[in-house]
Amino acid sequence: MSLYQHILLAVDLAETGSEPAEKALAIARTSDARLSLIHVIEPTPSYGTPGGLIDVLGAIKERAMAEVDKFCEDTHMPEGGVRRVEIGSVKSQILWTAKELEVDLIVLGSHSRYGLARLLGSTASAVLHGAPCDVLTVRCSERKM
């Protein structure tokens, strides 16, 4: 039985360990599923004034795409999936991409102890409520500082 056809792995490059990627990869291999990846950057006021915002975000997005490529290399992500860096609301971008790509499983990390971890928890919960498909939240180890 093929569990899933197309899996979307949502990664937070700064905070998420490799556990969600490892689980997503294992399920993709088991199901012979396509594996796509999304990383979302939420703009904050510290990115600068509105005038320079587009340039700043463009540079951030470019750097993030390079990090995503390195992440894919390090975790041995298979070819054939979509790799995306989006700017906007984490929840909305994950859900929009899940719908657009017609994935049947979203995999994301769930932290619990740190400040940003709580945000991630909220994201996981928000995605859970809006998702058009199954959601696997992977318990991550504490971040090694």
Looking at residue 108, the DSSP 8-state letter turns out to be E
101: contact with a second copy by CB under 8 A: no
Annotate 83-98 with DSSP letters as a single string: EEEEES-HHHHHHHHH
- Considering only 16, 36, 97, 110, the residue that binds a second copy (CB under 8 A) is 110
- Give the nearest distance from C-beta 128 to a second copy in angstroms: 6
Residue bearing tokens 């994201």: 123
**Pure H helices in the chain:** 19-31, 50-74, 90-101, 115-130
Q: Which of 18, 137, 141, 144 lies at the binding interface for a second copy (CB under 8 A)? A: 137
Reduced to 3 states (helix: H, G, I; strand: E, B; else coil), residue 136 is strand
- Say if residues 10 and 35 touch (Cβ distance below 8 Å): no
Size of the site for a second copy (CB under 8 A): 23
Among 34, 121, 142, 144, binds a second copy (CB under 8 A): 121
CA–CA distance, 88 with 123 (Å, rounded to integer): 13
Among 11, 27, 38, 41, binds a second copy (CB under 8 A): 27
Write each residue from 59 to 98 as x if it is in contact with a second copy (CB under 8 A), else as -, in one continuous string.
----------------------------------------
- Residues in contact with a second copy by the rule CB under 8 A: 1, 3, 23, 26-27, 29-30, 110, 112, 121, 124-125, 128-129, 131-139
